[in-house]
Amino acid sequence: MVGVSLRGEMQSPSDDKPPGLLEIAFLTYGVIGQQGAVSSTIQFLQGKDEVTTVGVQSDPVNVFVVATTMAGLLFLFYLRPRILARIAGLSPLILTACCIALASSLWSEARTLVLKRAGEHLCSILLALYVPARLGFDGAMRLTARAIGICAVLSLLAGIFVPRLGVMHSWGAYGRWKGIYAHKNPLAQAMGVGVLLQYYLAVATREKVWRLGVAAIEIALVVLANSATVLGVIVFATGAYGIFLLATRGGAVRPLAAMVGAPVAAAFAIVLICVPELFHTLSGRDSTLTGRTELWAWVWRIIQQKPFFGHGFQEFWDSGDPLVGTIWAAIGWPAPNAHNGFLEVALDLGALGVLLVALILVQALVRFVSLFSVPGALNQAGASLIFLVAVVIHSGTEAVLFRQEDIDWLMVAFFSFAAAQTLASARKPSERPLPNVLARARPLTA
């Protein structure tokens, strides 16, 4: 029988054994590997310098991580086919999107590259779905937070004791921390996700001091990486969790908080709209968002060339197309992507991809809102909704939607599946044995 815990998490079926130490270690390894936190460290140990070019260089370490993760997942699905069936039943949209990404190799000019990246993306999505399916929501949150926490501690140590590994030395990003990651942006992105997970665990468990301490380390790494976008997302999430706690546990303070908080928030929004220079000062960006607006104009023109199906999954920037060089020369820097979630999806998969991603996000939103009506799932609902809004905000200036090995998109799949699992369990009627009426009946007397 499948049931829901007091915090709304899905329990493993009774015929599934609890995950052992080896399985937990493998899943932790998989989550760390999907952050891209393994490859750059091993390259450093091999004596290779910091990678400063954008291209299609094949990384054997990354290939090994993806291959071993996929092999392990296939073995786990073989052992537990019911979990695979549950994933397929509750995640048709996200799996359809993976199939479209694979199929885009048919109309791409770099078929091998597209197949490779779409295959890696499928592996990442399967891992993101398996973890909550196997461990339940709370267990999956703990494992993912632990994996990111390990990377945070190692990144902090690398920056302090091995700055040649932990700090960037390339032009344009000199002195910014990257930890054990290949670049400062993946570090900041992973730490931003880690902060949101630690917030949830601080709210849902009694480990408040410990969890907030880890969150503080992760916030410090975001500051050292100098990522204004992720820092803004963390500020939003902090405020959102404060409002959530007031709304759910505020008691008599709730009306006062609403009376004070609403006018302050409205005034802040009005000031930012009327005085955009203040926003640029607070975010540390200029009016072009560090050259993004000019890049977006170029990307939009290129999208018009293949508006329905795009150029192929994550193919354009590494395809060798002369247009890429033209864009880089025009904007003055080698942009690795469109730096906008929906523009990048439109570039890769056209209107079809944008429609799929929009449907996935809307489905997730509906599921998260529905969780508020499930007894015991309030914390899960709040964490899921806050994360979804944070990802949408982040996608405004970064390509974090429907990306290969992108932790933001993996967590969208993670939260959406976990919500569907909790809702399915809540709708399932409790299986109680029927009363034995005949046994309780009085015998007839002659």
Running along the chain, 446 residues long, what does each successive block of 10 average in pLDDT? 41 62 96 81 68 53 89 95 95 96 93 93 96 96 96 95 89 86 92 96 92 96 92 91 83 61 62 51 53 88 94 90 90 89 95 97 97 94 95 90 90 97 84 45 45
Q: What is the predicted pLDDT for the residue at 14?
A: 38
Spatial CA neighbour of 371 closest among 386, 355, 357: 386
Enter the tokens of residue 311: 């150029």
Find tokens 């955009």 and name the residue. 276
Residues 6+ positions from 44 with CB-CB distance below 8 Å? 164, 165
What's the pLDDT at 160?
A: 95
pLDDT at 25 (0 to 100): 96
pLDDT of residue 229: 87
Task: Report pLDDT for 63.
Answer: 84
pTM: 0.86
Domain boundaries, the chain: 21-51+58-249+292-424
3-state secondary structure the chain: CCCECCCCCECCCCCCCCCCHHHHHHHHHHHHHHCCCCHHHHHHHCCCCCCCCCCCCCCHHHHHHHHHHHHHHHHHHHHCHHHHHHHHHHCHHHHHHHHHHHHHHHCCCCHHHHHHHHHHHHHHHHHHHHHHHHHHHHHHHHHHHHHHHHHHHHHHHHHHHCHHHHECCCCCCCCCECCCCCCHHHHHHHHHHHHHHHHHHHHHCCCHHHHHHHHHHHHHHHHHHCCHHHHHHHHHHHHHHHHHHHHHHCCCHHHHHHHHHHHHHHHHHHHHHHCHHHHHHHHCCCCCCCCHHHHHHHHHHHHCCCCCCCCCCCCHHHCCCHHHHHHHHHHCCCCCCCCCHHHHHHHHHHHHHHHHHHHHHHHHHHHHHHHCCCCCCHHHHHHHHHHHHHHHHHCCCCCCCCCCCCHHHHHHHHHHHHHHHHHHHHHCCCCCCCCCHHHHCCCCCC
Predicted confidence at residue 197, as pLDDT, reads: 97
DSSP-assigned beta bridge partners for residue 10: 4
Note the pLDDT of residue 441.
46
pLDDT at 202: 94
